[in-house]
Structure 1
Amino acid sequence: MCGICGWVDFQRDLTREQSVIDAMCETMACRGPDDGGTWVRPHAGLGHRRLAIIDLPGGTQPMELDTPDGPVALVYSGEAYNFTELRDELRRRGHRFDTDSDTEVVLHGYLEWGASVAEKLNGMYAFAVWDSRVEQLLLVRDRMGIKPLYYYPTDNGVLFGSEPKAILANPLAEKVVDADGLREMFAMTKSPGHAVWSGMREVEPGTVVTLDRNGLREHTYWKLEAVEHTDDQETSVSHVRELLDDIVSRQLISDVPRCLLLSGGLDSSAITALSARQLAEQNEQVRSFAVDFLGQSENFVPDPMRETPDGPYVQDVAKHVDTRHQDIVLDPKTLADPSVRRAAVRSRDIPLGMGDMDNSLYLLFKAIREHSTVALSGESADEVFGGYKWFFDQQVRESNTFPWLAIAQQQHMSGSGVLDPSLASTLDLPGYVAAEYDKAVGQMPVLDGESAFERKMREICYLHLTRFVRMLLDRKDRMSMAVGLEVRVPFCDHRLVEYVFNAPWSLKTFDGREKSLLRKATADTLPKSVTDRVKSPYPSTQDPGYAAELQKQVKQLISDDDPALSLLDRQWIRDSVDTPAERVDTSTRNVFERALDMSVWFDLYNPTIKV
């Protein structure tokens, strides 16, 4: 995995800026606890922090290759799951390798194919290449946006990093959030390329950003396309299974201990079961982990989002496929610990108010890291196969907005309710969301002859694959890398995404349920309880003790007149903070979470707000 950063400046001598580049690199230490290094030349400086996964002794970075016309240097984060095939091809073309790492394959691939090397890769990656032969920087991001990469144009070049904090460590980058940044932070739309921080951009998935003395340019090398799906049901199911077997096999490759994230849902259970089968052939027992909350299974109360607790299903899968399983059980005080919140907010660089779902994910990953360095996740299957309940909600289908926002409005959980009324009026979040929705739909690929219903369902799938999933992938990456854990996401393999995206909705739901293709393709590996289970999202604690802990902390914010409250509806918070903990509903708790996250963010980053 790893963290990367860098600075290119065509006017400044960066050999005199070593301390600044070191400071940028140091912010990535959590992403790469095993090693670190920098490579500095007059107009380019690269930094790297390494989490060693493949070829532990040989993958040191920054990696440089000398050519007759000057050196080419690379900093790389992620995994190329097809690096062995690419290495064989490059050897046939005359390249010689000194290591067994995928990093060296990518660097030689650049020498052979230039920026087109991105089109050759299967995996999750973000990397930067400085080519001194032409004084050019390439920033490259994987197709689905699994690995993050940000950049900040300057007067004479650019700053870049795996996370905004690396860029913000450079004095040239101002810690400013303007009106559009606040809109993005509160609207939950994930506008492509938007980084919240003013002046900063996110390299879009499937994109190459090029910088030379003529300026910045962007090139999209991959995007979803609409093509006719001609396979019948049986063939489609068979092909999905073939793809999954190949994907899991590739993503199990590791020179360090690996494990599975298991929630007891169809997605994670399928990946766990397929992994268990493949590892059994190597006489290896799969290890699995799940997050749970103290007393959750015994005291669980169904709600509109979650009909069942995860615990019993996790145990069914662990027994059925014979995993070495461990539950990470969290109590309210641990979950609400301010130090945990601080770590979670720092990892994300912005306060998104996900609260216990961020905190528990961070704690889960932290516990896993004591045993494993690589974990496989079922993340993104709902977006790929159509698994969320709101895909089947007629009111959501007919709404002209992002589906996840439509369902939030139904459940009175809109993010705009937490804002100071005057600020809410200025930001006009409904107008911002409407404009972003129109922009997203306008970019959707269309298949000639598709019915109005199929086109609408394609739209819903497209919005999830290009907007919603990116929020989840970013969350997963930040929380895992905050503790030096690499989390792989098999369902984001672009071959699978392309294939299932073009399957008609009738085929995605041929058994009258969600994720029909996935369920049928993996049913032979799973217990019936899991294949029959109704979709349940990532768990959230129901313990009123957690709400009580939040209330104590929010009361302290009010007492201290915390600066974070300047953006929020102070009066609403004051009126709600004394509600008995057992009567604090999800919407109110979310407001408390947002206030506490905002307070930590202001303390960590001291941002300048310009509205």
Structure 2
Amino acid sequence: MCGITGWIDYHGLGPDAATVLTRMTDTQALRGPDGAGIWTSNIAGLGHRRLSIIDLAGGAQPMLAHTNDGATDPALVLTYSGEIYNYRELRAELRTRGHTFRTTSDTEVVLAAWTEWGTAAADRLNGIYAFGVWDTRAQTLTLVRDRLGVKPLYFRQTGSSLVFGSEPKAILAQSRHRPEIDDEGIIALMLPLLKIPGKSPYTDIGEVRPGEIVTFSRAGLARHRYWRLEEQIAPTGHARSLTDSADAVRDLLEDTVGRQLIADVPLCTLLSGGLDSTAITALANNQLTEGPVRSFSVDFSAPFVGSEVTPNADTEYAHEAAKFIGSDHTSIVLDGAGLADQAIREACVRSRDLPFGIGDLDMSLYVLCKAIKDHSTVALSGESADEVFGGYLWFHRDDAVWADTFPWMSDSPAHGRLHRRILNVFRPELRAKLGVDDYVTDQYRAALAEVHHRDTDTRQQRRMRELTHLGLSRFLPTLLDRKDRLSMAAGLEVRVPFCDHRLVELVAPLGWDVQTGDGAEKSVLRHAVRDLIPRSVADRKKSPYPSIPDPSYSDEVSHQLAARLADPDCRLNELFDPAVLQAAITPPAAPGALISNVEAELALNFDAWLRIYDPVLAL
């Protein structure tokens, strides 16, 4: 998948440019353990760390494109992360236009496409990607991000300079100044279940938005959206039946999964035993020509404890699904003592550059990815099906659907109570000073204003369209960010077939009566794959990613927090309510909660981040 970075300064990079750029590039070594490269001129430098997936021998970066006029300097320089799933078709078309290719990599196809079509090349790409192109003749840098924002891309622009990277750590390494967090950034840290497009908590670091092209030149910064989610969700006037919709989804999923099986390294699927991952595993297994697909699931050594939010365990369903499909399945069993290791938490915080992470969910995903990496370098995941097909509880509970806020922040079991527990850890006077509730309201109103409606829409049609937009634009990015950072920190590329933009364009405009046409959530998807999955999985009530049930894990988390609070250098009281922190040291039993000790988990994440990054907080 790779890590990219770069630095442009029209006043000159200076004599240490190569050293600085190498430092920036090396911060992302975990994203690209298989190779590294930099390219520099007097005003521009690009860096790349490679995770080899396609054309293992070729495809080194940054990649250069030369003109035929005999010039020694390249015309274009590309640093690219991601996968283009239609690169074979594009390469064939580009050959008819006179392009020749030295490698079989998708990177060279992206570079040739840019040479042929410029920024219009983005409209032709199907995949997950983030890349930067430096045009040496026009002296412009262009940054491009995929439509759903699967691959991250951050930048900092100050005057004549722009620095970018797959992760903030690459940008922070350019200046080595202490990172700063302003008021809005602190609010963002309080709201890990909400992603505001284009922003990061760091004061001077923003993001290229999903489906956006950012161009930096001597004239300044220009931004252009080449794909807008709100335009895809807009009603089209073409009504589909449940059967027609399911057939169209099946055809598209078969094409999407088939494209995403292309790799020159071992490949597998993440199989939880839920509808989404089982469908992907079955579709992959049907299209592989050499043996069964490998599948992996996570399990815990402690016995499962059911709750309202997590009604059933994944294990039995994952094994039943694997047997039904015929996949070569492995269950990765995690124990509480190992997962509570402080080094694992710090690795997760470093991977995300921020103290985000809910309970043990980051740690278990990171350890799972590291275990899978011993066997495979690419994994297909069912991520984003709940946002695309309306699977979450907050699509179906009236107290969430009709709440005058983001539905997962409402006062309901549909994530909302988790959101409130997180927010209540912070000092009440700090929340009041920053106006957190007003900020959420303002962002909610701004998000709703993006949604396109039709005058003839019913109240429910309008609301469900709004929820689809909110989920895909403000909730899904938090999950994609988590999956990308933690998997890439383990050197594992995770592909997400349900994030194919063509699938969003097909499903998002469907009426809610079609989406729930059989009386259950995700009716369209369920009907599309019902012949591929066991009946038990098709009828299974949704369960979220599992939290560890081992009480020894929770005990260890509490002990670690007590030790940190006893350290005079601990900075947690700057942000958190001391009374809540003290209560978290000996938390009461919380049956039915998604995470048993959210308060202690959050505090320990912040403690690790404050120690490692030493940020300047606007308090």
Question: TM-score, normalization: structure 1?
Answer: 0.97
Partner of 2:556: 549
List aligned pairs for 1:59-458, cutoff 5 A: 59-67=59-67, 68=69, 70-71=73-74, 72-171=76-175, 174-187=178-191, 188-224=193-229, 225=231, 226=234, 227-279=236-288, 282-296=289-303, 300-406=304-410, 407=412, 408-410=415-417, 413-458=420-465
Please say if residues 185 and 196 of structure 1, whose CA atoms lie closer than 8 Å, have aligned partners that are also in contact. yes
Looking at structure 2, the residues matched to 325 and 583 of structure 1 have their Cα atoms a distance apart, in angstroms, of 31
Q: For residue 51 of structure 2, what is the amino acid of its counterpart?
A: L
> Compared with structure 1, are the counterparts of its residues 411 and 364 closer, same or farther at alpha carbon in structure 2 (3 Å cutoff)?
closer
Q: For residue 62 of structure 2, what is the amino acid of its counterpart?
A: P
Q: Confirm or deny that 1:35 pairs with 2:44.
A: no
Looking at structure 1, the residues matched to 584 and 8 of structure 2 have their Cα atoms a distance apart, in angstroms, of 50
SS of the equivalent of 1:169 reads helix
- The structural deviation recorded for 1:301 is 2.8
Q: For residue 604 of structure 1, what is the amino acid of its counterpart?
A: I
> Compared with structure 1, are the counterparts of its residues 334 and 504 closer, same or farther at alpha carbon in structure 2 (3 Å cutoff)?
same
Please say if residues 59 and 99 of structure 1, whose CA atoms lie closer than 8 Å, have aligned partners that are also in contact. yes
Q: Confirm or deny that 1:529 pairs with 2:540.
A: no
Match of 1:564 among 568, 572, 595: 572
Partner of 1:590: 598
> Compared with structure 1, are the counterparts of its residues 264 and 544 closer, same or farther at alpha carbon in structure 2 (3 Å cutoff)?
same
Partner of 1:486: 493
Gaps of 5+ in 1: none
Looking at structure 1, the residues matched to 455 and 332 of structure 2 have their Cα atoms a distance apart, in angstroms, of 49
Partner of 1:514: 521
Partner of 1:500: 507
Deviates more, 1:411-420 or 1:517-526: 411-420
Deviates more, 1:22-31 or 1:283-292: 283-292
Looking at structure 1, the residues matched to 155 and 346 of structure 2 have their Cα atoms a distance apart, in angstroms, of 25
Gaps of 5+ in 2: none
> Compared with structure 1, are the counterparts of its residues 364 and 43 closer, same or farther at alpha carbon in structure 2 (3 Å cutoff)?
same
Q: For residue 614 of structure 2, what is the amino acid of its counterpart?
A: N
SS of the equivalent of 2:580 reads helix
> Compared with structure 1, are the counterparts of its residues 576 and 31 closer, same or farther at alpha carbon in structure 2 (3 Å cutoff)?
closer
Partner of 2:477: 470
Q: For residue 300 of structure 2, what is the amino acid of its counterpart?
A: F
- The structural deviation recorded for 1:448 is 4.0
SS of the equivalent of 1:418 reads coil
Partner of 1:24: 24
Looking at structure 1, the residues matched to 351 and 454 of structure 2 have their Cα atoms a distance apart, in angstroms, of 40
Q: For residue 515 of structure 2, what is the amino acid of its counterpart?
A: K
Q: For residue 613 of structure 2, what is the amino acid of its counterpart?
A: Y
Looking at structure 2, the residues matched to 463 and 440 of structure 1 have their Cα atoms a distance apart, in angstroms, of 7
Deviations 1:58-93 (A, max 9, x none): 110000011247521000000000001001111111
Looking at structure 2, the residues matched to 174 and 568 of structure 1 have their Cα atoms a distance apart, in angstroms, of 21
Please say if residues 14 and 44 of structure 1, whose CA atoms lie closer than 8 Å, have aligned partners that are also in contact. no
SS of the equivalent of 1:474 reads helix
- The structural deviation recorded for 1:412 is 7.4
Looking at structure 2, the residues matched to 585 and 104 of structure 1 have their Cα atoms a distance apart, in angstroms, of 49
* Misfit runs of 4+, over 3 Å: 13-16, 407-414, 579-588
Looking at structure 2, the residues matched to 451 and 513 of structure 1 have their Cα atoms a distance apart, in angstroms, of 21
Deviations 1:108-134 (A, max 9, x none): 111111011111000000000000110
SS of the equivalent of 1:525 reads coil
Looking at structure 1, the residues matched to 599 and 277 of structure 2 have their Cα atoms a distance apart, in angstroms, of 30
Please say if residues 83 and 129 of structure 2, whose CA atoms lie closer than 8 Å, have aligned partners that are also in contact. yes
- The structural deviation recorded for 1:172 is 6.8
Please say if residues 301 and 335 of structure 2, whose CA atoms lie closer than 8 Å, have aligned partners that are also in contact. yes
Please say if residues 242 and 515 of structure 2, whose CA atoms lie closer than 8 Å, have aligned partners that are also in contact. no
Partner of 2:612: 604
Q: For residue 386 of structure 1, what is the amino acid of its counterpart?
A: G
> Compared with structure 1, are the counterparts of its residues 583 and 512 closer, same or farther at alpha carbon in structure 2 (3 Å cutoff)?
closer
Please say if residues 390 and 396 of structure 1, whose CA atoms lie closer than 8 Å, have aligned partners that are also in contact. yes
